[in-house]
Amino acid sequence: MLRLASCRHSNTVPLQPNKLAQRSLLASGYKKRRQSLWPVHCLAGTPGAELHPELDLARIARTFRKGTDREIDSFSGFFDNARRKSTGLGEFLDEQGVTEIDLCGLATDYCVKATALGSLWFFSYS
């Protein structure tokens, strides 16, 4: 079993306090790209980013971190939303000879979906 961990920090551009509705913004800086604003969630080092205490962590072979760049979000477990920075997950799966994956998670309309689509892209073009 592998773990995808969000590694967001409180100053991540797409996370905005008190924004309850999803909104769009054009991020400034060198990574100009339309992104969505989200309520603050899954911040590194907070209980919201932790796994449930009853989960058997011994079964997790490796953790891959996403959302490490404060200027661009990362829904997929494979790469950021601009596909500029890999999490290493695809390369790891390739090294292990993995050709099929099973996904589970809460945000099936965003993160889980993006990871499923990322896997299709990765296994088709790598």
Q: How far is CA 32 from the centre of its chain?
A: 19
Enter the pTM of the model: 0.76
Residues 65-120 have pLDDT tens digits of 888 877 777 889 999 888 888 999 999 999 999 988 998 887 788 888 999 999 99
Give the containing element (helix H, strand E) for 25. Answer: strand 23-26
Handedness of CA 96, 116, 120, 67 (dihedral sign): negative
For 27, left (φ over 0), alpha (ψ -120 to 50), or beta?
A: beta
Residues 20-46 have pLDDT tens digits of 444 545 444 445 666 666 666 677 777
Task: Sketch out the chain's domains with CATH numbers.
Answer: 2-125 (3.40.50.850)
